[in-house]
Amino acid sequence: MFGVIELTVRKMKEPAFTMMLCIGILLGYMVAGIDPLAEDQAGNGLLSQILASSKGYPLMTSSFFGIGIALIMAVFTGATEIPRDIDTGMIMLVISKPISKTEYLIGKYLGVFLLCAILFAATELTIFITHFILAGELYPIGVMLKQFYLLLALLPLTALTVAISSFLGDVSAMIIVVVYLIFSLAVSAIPIFVALLPKSMSSGIEAYLLVFYYFFPNFIYYFQNSQLIGIVPFSLLLYSLSITVILLAIAALRLKNRDLI
C-alpha cells in the first residue's frame, strides 16, 4: 500500500503539479489582504445566517482560494488515477504483488489526498507570509490553525473523486464529480431555505426536502466558526471520516467485482 502511495505522490515531479503549485502560490500572494469572513457576518443576509455560529476562530476569505485549488487537484488527479491504471494495465501489475485491491484503493486515496494537502498548505503558507510582509504582523495563531481545518473537507472530497473513478472513465468521472459537488453545495442550503419560509409553507415541504438533503454531504459545516478544540471539531472529524469510509467501501466493492482487464 505504501508503494502505491509513493507512486501517486511522485506526481509532484510532473510539470502539471509544478504548474498547479505555482498557481496556488500566486493566488495566495494575490488574496493575502482579503479580510476574514467574520467581518462579513455583522449583516442579516443569507451569508451571515450560513456562517454565524458560536464563538470561535473564523475562516479567512482567502482560504476559499486555497481549498478551491486543492479541489481542482482532487478532481483532476483523483478522477483519473484508477481509470488510467486500468487502461494501461498498471493495476494488474500492482495487484499481482502481495497487495489486495482494497489496499491499492486506499493507497491511491491517501496519495491523492497528500497531493491536495501539500497544494493547500503551500497556498495557505503563502497567504500567511505575504500578510506578514505587508502588514508587519502575523495572523493570530488560532486563526492560522483554523484554516487547516479545511483539510477535513478534503477527506470526503478526495474519497468522492476516487470512488466515482472506480465506476467510470477519467473524463466521465471528472464531469460527474463536478456536477455532484455543485448539487451538494446547493442542497446544503436546504435547511436555511426551509427556515426562511413561512411556517405554513415549510411544514408541508420540509420532510420531502430533507430526505433529498441527506443524499449529499453538507460542506457548509466546514465554513462555520468554531474553537480549535471541542465538540464541533470532533464532530466535523467524525462526520468527515464517516463519509470517507462509506465512499471508499463502495469503491472497494466495485473494484472487487470489476473486470480490470
Number of domains, the chain: 1
Tell me the pLDDT band of 245, cut-offs 50, 70 and 90.
very high
The letter for the amino acid at 171 is V
| Residue-range definition of the domain harbouring residue 124 | 2-257
pLDDT of 110 above 60: yes
Gap between the Cα atoms of 260 and 92, Å rounded: 7
Any idea what DSSP says for residue 224? S
pLDDT of 111 above 70: yes
E strand segments, the chain: none
Q: How many CB atoms lie within 10 A of CB 48?
A: 13
What percent of the chain is predicted at pLDDT more than 70? 80
**Average pLDDT rounded to a whole number, residues 144-170:** 87
Task: Supply the mean pLDDT for the chain.
Answer: 79
Helices 151-165 and 101-135, interaxial angle, to 10°? 140
Measured in whole angstroms, the distance separating CA 204 from the mean position of its chain's CA atoms is 34
* Grid coordinates belonging to 158: 478526495
pLDDT of 40 above 70: no
pLDDT of 41 above 50: no
Q: How many CB atoms lie within 10 A of CB 213?
A: 17
User: Which residue has 503551500 as its cell numbers?
Assistant: 122
pLDDT of 203 above 60: no
**Average pLDDT rounded to a whole number, residues 133-161:** 86
Output 187 or 151, whichever has higher pLDDT: 151
3-class SS at 36?
strand
**Average pLDDT rounded to a whole number, residues 51-62:** 67
* Grid coordinates belonging to 120: 493547500
Gap between the Cα atoms of 68 and 149, Å rounded: 14
* Grid coordinates belonging to 241: 471520516
